[in-house]
Homo-oligomer: A and B are copies of this chain.
Amino acid sequence: MPRQTATSSASGRTRRRGPSMADVAREAGVSGQTVSRVANGKTNVDDATRERVLAAMRRVGYRPNSAARALRNGRFRSIGVIISALPTFGNSRTLDAIAAAVVPEGFSIVLMPVARPTQGEVTGAFSTLNEQAVDGVIILIEQHQLDQSEIELPHGLPVVVIDSSARYDYPVVDNDQADGAARATGHLLDLGHETVWHIAGPPQSYSAERRRKSWQATLERAGRVVPPVFPGDWSPESGYQAGLRLAADPAVTAVFVANDQMALGLLRALHETGRAVPAEVSVVGFDDMEESAHFWPPLTTIRQSFEAVGRHAVEALLAEIETGAEAGEPVTLPTELVIRSSTAPPP
């Protein structure tokens, strides 16, 4: 008596498993191994046989079982992405780029969102990722305290970190935050502004810190006074709040904002208080979101290539997975100054 066959018949109750190689083999009148060979595109199969097997596969609706495959050869052909703040502009763009880079390689992506980027959550994500369900991990966490000493790296799982800190043992890929901030600040200085004010991102963020430090260094290099930093948290609201205070100070003629969203908030504050942009105050953002070109006025900003970041991260991870290559030099991608209408010489 045949054991429960995987018909697509009515009942529907049973958890049906798809047809296996054995089913195909029976149908095609060959051994399971030959089916395996065909499924994996091995060359040492007679053309006629191959055709027969392929036909049989189609007939029974065969799909390889990835679990069995993974169990057999210890590879999953999938990578995990540990991500905080997913809907964030940069993160979603980067994730998309990672996805795009990974799919042609035949890998799939397992998403591991962490609600908050705490030590425990990240380590937890690692565990949940189970060390066994993926071949490697990309960590895409914006603000964190990932000291390499604290994070528990599970047995030799390849890891790539997208971040500007170079303090990791793992390969690091990121946009060149310092370069971008220097361009932004330099642009304003070049226009003739005496100095440049700064609305910063949250201090837990390495990116934010890098931008702030580079802004400061650029100012110091030019021998300008370094105004106090206005702290923000990336949100438009925080940019607005900082902007309200900035707008009240007539000495302010140029502001470098750590991201475009906060720049939007600043623009609103400037409008509300009647300070003309760029006639009275110049503004430079960071990110170049799609919206920025349509802010009022259109925003001068620093464009980052999230696509390139994602691509390089995948490349590095896949290399680690394939060859066991150790971390090389951190990859730092150049940024680009996009000049629009929010900057002008000082009044």
Contacts and interface: CB of A to CB of B under 8 A. Distances in A.
A264 B294 contact: yes
Nearest to A12: B324
Interface string A216-259: 00000000000000000001110110000000000000000000
Contact of A293 (B112, B237, B291): B237
Copies in the complex: 2
A63 interface: yes
B324 A296 contact: no
B99 A111 contact: yes
Contacts of A68: 67, 71
Interface string A1-32: 00000101000110111100000000000000
A108 interface: yes
B295 A268 contact: yes
Interface residues of A, number: 66
Interface string A147-191: 000000011100000000000000000000000000000000000
Nearest to A14: B324
**Which of A18, A130, A293, A294 counts the most chain B CB atoms within 10 A?**
A294
Nearest to A114: B103
B294 A296 contact: no
Interface stretch (A47-55, A90-98, A198-206): A90-98
B240 A268 contact: no
A291 B238 CA distance: 11
A220 to B, nearest CB: 32
Interface in A248-282: 261, 264-265, 267-268, 271
Nearest to A125: B103
A100 B296 CA distance: 35
A140 to B, nearest CB: 13
Contact of A86 (B76, B78, B95): B95
A86 B74 CA distance: 30
Which of the listed residues A15, A267, A291, A295 has the most CB atoms from chain B within 10 Å of its own CB? A291
A113 B103 CA distance: 8
Contact of A99 (B18, B89, B113): B113
A99 B86 contact: yes
B86 A92 contact: yes
Given A66-B132, A296-B271, A17 B74 contact: yes
A127 interface: yes
Given A132-B64, A294-B236, A108 B108 contact: no
A133 interface: yes
26 contacts: A8-B156, A12-B156, A12-B324, A18-B155, A63-B127, A63-B132, A64-B130, A71-B71, A86-B92, A87-B89, A87-B92, A87-B95, A92-B92, A99-B111, A99-B113, A100-B115, A108-B111, A108-B128, A108-B133, A109-B110, A110-B110, A111-B111, A236-B294, A261-B290, A264-B294, A271-B296
Given A65-B130, A268-B295, 18 more contacts: A6-B155, A13-B324, A16-B156, A61-B154, A63-B127, A64-B132, A66-B132, A67-B67, A68-B71, A100-B115, A108-B111, A109-B110, A109-B111, A236-B290, A239-B294, A264-B294, A268-B298, A271-B296
